Amino acid sequence: MHIEQFTVRHKPYLRLVESRRRLSRNGKPISGKVLVLGLGPLSRHDDGKPDFLGRLRRSFRDGEPLIAALKPFVGNVAREWNLRFRDGDESCDGKPKRLAACVLDPVFSALGLDQLFASVKHASKIQYDLQGLVRLLVYGRILEPASKCATMEQNEKYHEPLVSSPNPDNVYDALTVVDENAEKIFRRMNTCIKRGIGRNPSLVFYDVTNFYFEIADADEDVLDEAGNVVEKGLRKFGVSKENRKQPIVQIGLFMDDNGIPVSFEMFPGNTLDHHTLKPAMERTVDGFGLGRFVLVADRGMYSAPNMCHVTDAGNGYIVSKSLRKSTAATRRWAVSPEGYEAVSDKFRRKSRIIEREVTVVKKDKDGKETRERRRFKEKEVVYWSEAFYKRELFEHRKFLDFVERLRANPAGFRVSAAQSKSLKRFLKDEYLNKKTNEVVDGRKLVAMIDDEKLNAFNELMGYYMIATSELDAPDQEIIDKYHGLTQIEDQFREMKGTLEARPVFVNTPEHIHAHLLVCFIALTMMRLIQRKVAMAEPKPDADGDLKWSYGMSGERLSAALREWQVLRQPGEYYQMLNASGEDISRVLSALGIVTEKKIYTKGSIAALRSGVKIF
């Protein structure tokens, strides 16, 4: 019901009306208004203050109308519905439809993607529904990950189809457009997030993962007539994070200090981790205008060219270093008790500032290399943690027990090639056969074990080292900021789990990149919704820092949105289903969506969507 103003003989009047839909004689739904209460001329009620009509409508919606005669019509006045079914009509066969777009559409819009794809379509004179296809691909990743063709078939599962006049062939056209506009997508999302909740640029986290393809052969490199590589193949055999034997593609992901993804870059599957950082920064975050930030990354990223690139751009870094691969002098300093500050009997730390001299190789536009000697200061923070010691001990317990059993009874052991490979780093060099790696007799192996190497390995258990450009930052602050890197692993788990980003079934580099970008958009949208949930219901014992709390898992969020549905009734009325579940209630409450036990119309469903505020 709503208050309407109308004119009679040039004089304004007020009345309370209700919009209703009914079936005509030929069974077609038609719209109309029904008079509920006549309120008389406007002059009878106007209090002379500005915007009386606007204030009257708001007061009616809030349950405290300015006109007393309206009071019986506010609140939850029950309305009876008489719906007419006709045998053979589709409405007799209930087909629940998803309402998730009421939540996902405002997020998609808040990221500026609706306007971006509308402008791309206009500029490119695309005839198909580009925005609808992208929405379908992204929402499908969140709700029901499937192949591109299967995702197209999900269009009719929404209470209002996302794509008008869908053509399955257009989905690949849309992927091409997504790939071509990747930079615009990253920039638009970044700009909207900065304006909406603010990018916290103090820390930017980076890590690498890979996604596999269910194919047998890797992509071949493209060569010129002289045999030089013109273009590297993308799907290559490499070190799979999941120990897969199929070709993979590498991606490097950036995340801000709020736990919201920033950007990603794609690389051939055989690219080493530390070779991804510099080009990934150059192609994405270097141009985002984030201001000075401190890059936090794992030890796989630590190299002189990477650290120099970070500091040359005016930024800083906090990156772990392999203590076991450091110099003997560094290892002696790390394990020496001198200089340690005991935070507790389970944790101690110390640091030092060193001066490093490195050679940095740079290439110009023509590929010509130049070498430059660089000197810079760096702070090394090392700590010993009982928890880390126990974890390392658990990881290596099987091997250490094997060595002890071998010492106790060498005649009873025949060592396999795999076991001898594990032992290789602890064998004396003068006994080591570098060519065969064959099965050896346990009695011979005992003599080959280098106790000095084995003791050095055990001595470093529980120690961890971090290198940073932030010379004045307190040691514990450096350690705490580095530990935030574990949260980026959750981004990868969501992409590989809830969003099922792999295995990848598209083939061309453009479509592979577009597929990963669709997953990236879906992940960002999920994180924004989860952030709203976390902020709406902080835990009683929380210390106010909720940036690493996602409120609920991505899997539960996906299930809640997928099961929130409506059932269409005759006359284009809708019955809401599964709106009272625990998870969906938390999500809707966090987004400001209030559902009622009533029959809904298209207009009232649209009102649910329009009330969502993401930022």
DSSP 46-65: --SSS-HHHHHHHHHHTT--
Spatial contact of 401 and 395, defined as CB atoms under 8 Å apart: no
> Which has the closest alpha carbon to 267: 211, 313, 186?
211
pLDDT for res 363: 72
Mean pLDDT per 10-residue segment, the chain (615 residues): 87 86 64 83 88 85 81 68 74 85 94 95 92 96 93 93 89 95 94 84 88 90 82 90 89 89 93 92 86 91 89 92 89 92 92 88 74 89 92 81 73 60 57 48 56 77 93 93 87 88 89 95 94 78 47 89 90 86 91 86 83 82
Indicate the SS3 state at residue 71. Answer: helix
Residue 310 CA to residue 286 CA, distance in Å, equals 9
> Which has the closest alpha carbon to 470: 200, 198, 202?
202
pTM of the model: 0.79
Peptide bond into 503 cis (omega under 30): yes
Residue 337 CA to residue 605 CA, distance in Å, equals 67
Token pair for 143: 């709700």
* 10 contacts: CB under 8 Å, gap ≥ 6: none
pLDDT for res 104: 95
Give how far Cα 478 sits from Cα of 76, 78, 293, Å. 56, 60, 14
Neighbouring C-beta atoms of residue 263, cutoff 10 Å: 25
pLDDT for res 428: 55
Cα dihedral 608/611/612/615 (nearest 10): 180
